[in-house]
A = this chain, B = another copy of it.
Amino acid sequence: MPTVTEASSPQSTQSGNARICRGCWDQMHMPIPIRGPLALPFRAFGITRSKMNPNICTICERSFRYVKKQSHVAASATILFADIRGFTHLSERIERVRLSEIVSLFQDRCAQAIWAHDGIVNKTMGDGLMAIFNFPIIRKDHAQAAIMAALDIQRLCAAALGSLDLDDLGDQPLGVGVGIHSGDVEIGEFSSFRSDFTAIGGTVNLASRLESQAEAGEILVSPETAAQAGALAAGAATRLLSLKGIDQPVEARVLVKRD
């Protein structure tokens, strides 16, 4: 099975410490200061750096309706799901305090990888998370950005989880599974009572289903994402998967981190 090393995006250097919100700039061409002295008056009005990505502001996330003047919009995006394989098994065996360390390591390393490639950590769910690429920060190469983030996730999590002393784990390896799919999604707020900014649609569900089939260390990429990602997915092994709720089998590309 071919392996792919972590690559650095030509665009990812943009993502250091942006002075203005990159989401508001990409979506509205509005310069909203998020770092430095100019950010202070905005902070007084509750506009701060988003927890989904420190290079966007809370307008992108909490005031989506204001940005888009509607509650949701169609967008082309790449969706990434990741979670810890073997976590349920582990959660039956080790102390909850140690579980919390593992969850912290996982969440922090994933966020680092996703932010480095301009994605947002949209949802966290204990030992899992969902990221969106190409919204609100626009990246034309969002399929590649997501794959590079996934490779970074695998590399960073392997190092972090490997450093833990988990004798109590037994024969079940602890690792991360990732699923990625690109396509049209509906992005916005889908609740009348909370500004719950997210993406929905078949694209999201297929990415989630792919992730559920990924073994520890694997990145399962849909044919659509692979086609957009060029060299990054070229030559990868394929695996034909029957996924719950999806009529046709999906020929996923299987990427693995380099040991």
Contacts and interface: CB of A to CB of B under 8 A. Distances in A.
A92 B191 contact: no
A84 B72 CA distance: 20
Contact-residue bracket for chain A = 35 or more
A158 to B, nearest CB: 19
Contact of A96 (B74, B100, B244): B74
Nearest to A86: B245
Contact of A108 (B51, B97, B130, B192): B192
B46 A184 contact: no
A100 B204 contact: no
A246 interface: yes
| Chain A interface helix/strand/loop/mixed | mixed
A155 interface: no
B103 A200 contact: yes
Copies in the complex: 2
Contacts of A99: 186, 200-201
B92 A124 contact: no
A107 interface: yes
A191 B124 contact: yes
A209 B88 contact: yes
Given A245-B87, A245-B89, A104 B204 contact: no
A5 to B, nearest CB: 26
Contact of A124 (B72, B184, B196): B196
A126 B72 contact: no
26 contacts: A51-B193, A51-B196, A72-B100, A88-B209, A88-B244, A89-B245, A89-B247, A91-B202, A92-B245, A96-B184, A96-B185, A96-B201, A96-B202, A100-B188, A103-B190, A103-B200, A104-B190, A107-B191, A107-B196, A108-B191, A124-B196, A124-B198, A125-B125, A126-B190, A126-B198, A126-B200
Q: Which 5 A-B pairs have the closest CB atoms?
A: A88-B245, A51-B194, A96-B186, A91-B202, A88-B205
